[in-house]
């Protein structure tokens, strides 16, 4: 047998039984190191004494032996390294300390406006109201004309309304849904319209150009102010989890007659006077009134047969009151620390 075949067999056997990285490393030294078998074989061959033909033969055999040895050892090293890594991973798994605190996972939370909106929808659905949403981009007709708001009314002032290039507007109040709903469903009707509204306002702690309202509309036979007050009291009692005192003051809105501002006795001081109610003991909360006959007509409902009430709650304002939020700008701040503070009670 020629020497290279012998060395091949020997190396193969050695690699076959070597498992650890250092064992393979030793084999590499034993065969390819400075005094390694293959290195010495090349040195001791005494090429000068060979015939040119033998020299070629030996040379090519030695070269291929060397290349094969290098590749085999390289592969064995890689395998040993992989085995070692797997063993290390296994060992660290075994050492898992179950008393360590876990990896914290962030749990999502709901925005306070969503919370208040969901709560109100729930309460109103319990009283038989539909929940409708309408459009944030509205026509001038539904936002103003059909609500008996004449063209020279200050609400149409460029200061208040965002006009789009195509002549449409961003709705300034959820009242824009009143005539849409009457047209679609007729009377009798009970519906609420929660949604986002827009006004061209300078922002400060209590003014935003984007805010949420929740409009309510109830149209039926013989609806009076007493029905309006009863529904408002039931609603506020549920929201604040207690009996709430309310009072009505006259208020003017072209689409209601009579129109009111419904005030709630200040829940923070029980009417004694504090900074929230500016020492008055009352908080102006819900503009409302009996639906103007013209609005019913616009909605193709006969005002001699039906009457109704409407109210426009500021969802944003209600959330501020309910949760004691001091600055309206927090709502759109995008700050998760803000949203995470509100308990989800489902
Ligand atoms: N839409 C009115 C506003 O935004 C509020 C309102 C609604 C008043 C319904 C009366 C009845 O100010």
Residue nearest to atom 3 of ligand 1 (CA): 173
- Which atom of ligand 1 sits closest to the CA of residue 178? 9
Regarding the beta carbon of 310 and ligand 1, being less than 6 Å apart is answered yes
pTM: 0.69
CA of 292 to the centre of ligand 1 (A): 12
Atom of ligand 1 nearest to the CA of 175: 1
Residues in the chain: 346
- Ligand 1 neighbourhood includes 289 CB (under 6 angstroms): yes
By CB atoms closer than 10 A (0-12, 13-18, 19+), residue 229 is: middle
Per-residue pLDDT of the chain in tens (346 residues, 90 and over written 9): 577 888 899 999 999 888 889 999 999 999 999 888 888 888 877 777 788 888 888 888 889 999 999 999 999 999 999 998 998 888 888 787 888 888 888 777 889 999 999 999 999 999 999 999 999 999 999 999 999 998 888 877 766 899 999 999 999 999 999 999 999 999 999 999 999 999 998 888 878 899 999 999 999 999 999 999 999 999 999 988 888 899 999 999 999 999 999 999 988 888 999 887 889 999 999 999 999 999 999 999 999 999 999 999 999 988 988 888 888 889 999 888 898 888 765 5
Ligand 1: does its nearest atom lie under 6 Å from the Cβ of 216? no
Tell which one of 177, 223, 287 to mutate to probe ligand 1, the residue whose CB is within 8 A of the most ligand atoms: 287
Q: Token match 């290390």: residue? A: 88
pLDDT of residue 158: 65
User: Where are the chain's structural domains?
Assistant: 3-95, 112-339
Q: What is the pLDDT of residue 206?
A: 79
Question: Ligand 1 mean position to 177 CA, how many Å?
Answer: 11
Compute the distance from residue 79 Cα to the ligand 1 centre, in Å. Answer: 77
Decide if 198 contacts 174 (C-beta within 8 A).
Answer: no
What CATH number should be reported for the domain whose range is 112-339? 3.30.930.10
Using H for helix, E for strand and C for coil, what is the string for 172-235? Answer: CCHHHHHHHHHHHHCCCEEEEEEEEEECCCCCECCECCEEEEEEEEEEECCCCHHHHHHHHHHH
Distance, CA of 289 to CA of 257 (rounded, Å): 6
Peptide bond into 258 cis (omega under 30): yes
Query: Is any ligand 1 atom within 6 A of the Cβ of residue 195?
Result: no
The whole-number pLDDT of residue 96 equals 78
Rounded distance from Cα 175 to ligand 1 centre (Å): 6
**Cβ neighbours for 323, distance < 8 A, ≥ 6 positions apart:** 112, 341, 342
- Does the Cβ of 312 fall within 6 Å of ligand 1? yes
Counting from 1 in the atom list of ligand 1, the atom nearest the Cα of 213 is 4
Which of 191, 312, 315, 316, when mutated, tests ligand 1's pocket best, judged by the most ligand atoms within 8 Å of its CB?
312
Residue of 216, 217, 253, 308 to test ligand 1 pocket, by largest number of atoms within 8 Å of CB: 253
Question: Which atom of ligand 1 has the smallest separation from the CA of 216?
Answer: 9
């Amino acid at each position: 047998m020629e020497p290279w075949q012998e060395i091949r067999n020997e190396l193969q056997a050695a690699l076959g039984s070597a498992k650890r990285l250092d064992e393979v490393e030793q084999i590499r030294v034993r065969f390819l190191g400075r005094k390694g078998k293959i290195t010495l074989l090349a040195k001791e061959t005494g090429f000068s004494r060979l015939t040119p033909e033998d020299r070629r033969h030996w040379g090519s055999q030695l070269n291929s032996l060397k290349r094969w040895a290098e590749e085999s050892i390289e592969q064995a090293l890689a395998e040993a390294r992989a085995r070692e890594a797997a063993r290390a991973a296994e060992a660290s798994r075994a050492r898992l300390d179950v008393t360590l605190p876990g990896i914290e996972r962030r749990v999502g939370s709901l925005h306070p406006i969503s919370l208040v909106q969901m709560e109100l929808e729930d309460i109103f659905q319990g009283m038989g109201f539909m929940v409708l949403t309408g459009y944030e981009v509205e026509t001038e007709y539904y936002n103003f004309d059909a609500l008996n708001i004449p063209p020279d009314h200050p609400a149409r002032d460029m200061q208040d309304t965002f006009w789009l290039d195509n002549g449409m507007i961003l709705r300034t109040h959820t009242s824009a849904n009143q005539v849409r709903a009457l047209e679609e469903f007729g009377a009798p009707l009970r519906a609420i319209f929660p949604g986002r509204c827009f006004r061209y306002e300078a922002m400060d702690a209590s003014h935003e150009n984007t805010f949420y309202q929740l409009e309510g509309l109830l149209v039926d036979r013989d609806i009076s102010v007493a029905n309006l007050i009863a529904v408002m009291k039931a609603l506020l009692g549920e929201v604040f989890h207690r009996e709430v005192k309310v009072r009505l003051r006259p208020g003017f809105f072209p689409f209601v007659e009579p129109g009111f501002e419904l005030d709630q006795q200040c829940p923070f001081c029980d009417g004694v006077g504090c900074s929230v109610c500016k020492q008055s003991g009352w908080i102006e909360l819900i503009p409302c009134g009996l639906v103007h006959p013209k609005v019913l007509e616009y909605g193709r409902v006969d005002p001699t047969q039906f009457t109704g009430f409407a109210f426009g709650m500021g969802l944003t304002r209600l959330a501020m009151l309910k949760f004691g939020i001091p600055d309206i700008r927090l709502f759109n701040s995008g700050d998760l620390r803000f949203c995470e503070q509100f308990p989800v009670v489902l």
